[in-house]
């Protein structure tokens, strides 16, 4: 995939015929994509972020209709958000307590249950793409810190210096946020990706749920795919993404019931802030949050892209 922001979608979905031919998925009619731009803790309005999300989801929907692979779609959405500088991920990541950016990201595909993650990276342009390199070009699943960063650069991850990041100032403890995307493609494959700058004034070296499989990301073609945002320590301790998948797999809960149980009921009762988005194997999208709102949006083969922050759609329409 090309390194660069504005052209990323055009390249991935329109100008790269070889990549597309290799990944062409058109066995089924059904597809779905859902994305988030972070859970929020106080009333906020941000038309710019919602517009960016709608544009990304509209392009992703067109790409999926043409047979793009779920991995390309979720990576491209998350890269677009990382490059936009509007979200707490990539270029817009907030700084830690020592005043520098440290980011985490993950990607997982549900066909072979492969995953890749990076954590505490300080000089990587697109952490989600570095995570994909770990998944596809290494025998490992998680690379951390300076030595992990040197390794992902050796795999081809694009490097940047600290001046690249737009938030080279102080952060506050209330600042946080994450971006994520999940998609079901027309081959029936599901992938999920998540990327974050973590929490403001976090201790250097602190890692949250975002790069942890089963906490901030999970995908299994037999069940669904999930991406999280919120208080990372809680998502790790409760293995939220995997717990939701297990509820669906073993307890036969619907994706709506499973996400509601963990996010609204469990996190809500703990007064913890967090959210999860997901797509099940039938192409049904669900989202839920505990907090003031969630930057979210989705599109399916049946529904054009919609986005919302507070009120608004939380799930795709039932399929017939």
Closest distance to ligand ASP from the beta carbon of 239 (Å): 14
Closest distance to ligand ASP from the beta carbon of 199 (Å): 6
Can residue 171 be called a binding residue for ligand ASP (CB under 6 A)? no
CB burial class (10 A; 0-12, 13-18, 19+) of residue 254? middle
Q: Are strands 274-280 and 224-230 parallel, antiparallel or unpaired?
A: antiparallel
Q: Which of 13, 31, 34, 38 binds ligand ASP (CB under 6 A)?
A: 38
For ligand ASP, the binding residues in 211-230 under the rule CB under 6 A are: 229-230
Of all residues in the shown chain, the one whose CB is closest to ligand ASP is 232
Q: Exactly one of 70, 178, 210, 229 is catalytic; which is it?
A: 178
CA gyration radius for the chain?
17
HSE toward the beta carbon, residue 131, CA cutoff 13 A:
37
Candidate segments 59-67, 157-165, 194-202, 276-284, binder of ligand ASP by CB under 6 A: 194-202
Q: Which of 9, 151, 199, 226 binds ligand ASP (CB under 6 A)?
A: 199
Q: Which of 110, 211, 214, 232 binds ligand ASP (CB under 6 A)?
A: 232
Sheet with 285-290, edge to edge strand ranges = 217-220, 224-230, 274-280, 285-290
Neighbouring residues of 191: CB distance < 8 A, sequence distance ≥ 6: 69, 70, 71, 73, 74, 107, 108, 109, 110, 182, 183, 219, 225
Can residue 90 be called a binding residue for ligand ASP (CB under 6 A)? no
Can residue 37 be called a binding residue for ligand ASP (CB under 6 A)? no
How many residues touch ligand ASP (CB under 6 A)?
13
Q: Which of 177, 214, 278, 291 binds ligand ASP (CB under 6 A)?
A: 177
Can residue 208 be called a binding residue for ligand ASP (CB under 6 A)? yes
Examine the residue annotation and report whether 80 is marked as an active-site residue of this protein: no
State the residue for tokens 């599901």.
190
Cβ of 156: how many Cβ atoms within 10 Å?
11
Can residue 180 be called a binding residue for ligand ASP (CB under 6 A)? no
In whole angstroms, give the CA distance from residue 87 to residue 179.
7
């Amino acid at each position: 995939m090309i390194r660069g922001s504005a052209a990323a979608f055009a390249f991935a979905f329109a100008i790269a015929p070889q990549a597309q031919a290799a990944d062409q998925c058109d066995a089924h009619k059904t597809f779905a994509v859902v994305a988030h731009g972070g859970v929020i803790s106080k009333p906020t309005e941000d038309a710019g972020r919602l517009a960016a999300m709608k544009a990304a989801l509209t392009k992703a929907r067109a790409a999926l209709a043409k047979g793009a692979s779920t991995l390309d779609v979720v990576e491209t959405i998350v890269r677009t958000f990382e490059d936009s500088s509007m979200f707490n991920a990539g270029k817009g990541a907030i700084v830690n307590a020592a005043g520098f950016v440290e980011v985490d990201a993950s990607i997982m595909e549900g066909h072979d249950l492969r995953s890749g993650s990076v954590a505490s990276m300080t000089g990587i342009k697109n952490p989600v793409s570095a995570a994909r390199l770990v998944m596809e070009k290494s025998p490992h699943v998680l690379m951390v810190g300076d030595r992990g960063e040197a390794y992902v650069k050796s795999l081809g991850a694009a490097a940047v210096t600290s001046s690249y990041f737009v938030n080279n100032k102080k952060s506050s403890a209330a600042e946080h946020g994450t971006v994520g995307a999940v998609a079901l493609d027309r081959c029936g494959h599901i992938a999920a990706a998540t990327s974050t700058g973590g929490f403001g004034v976090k201790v250097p070296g602190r890692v949250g749920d975002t790069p942890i499989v089963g906490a901030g990301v999970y995908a299994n073609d037999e069940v669904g795919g999930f991406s999280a945002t919120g208080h990372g320590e809680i998502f790790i301790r409760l293995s939220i993404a995997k717990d939701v998948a297990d509820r669906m797999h073993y307890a036969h809960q619907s994706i709506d019931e499973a996400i509601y149980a963990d996010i609204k009921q469990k996190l809500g009762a703990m007064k913890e802030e967090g959210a999860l988005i997901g797509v099940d194997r039938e192409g049904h999208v669900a989202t839920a949050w505990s907090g003031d709102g969630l930057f979210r949006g989705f599109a399916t083969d049946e529904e054009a892209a919609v986005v919302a922050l507070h009120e608004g759609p939380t799930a795709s329409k039932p399929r017939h």
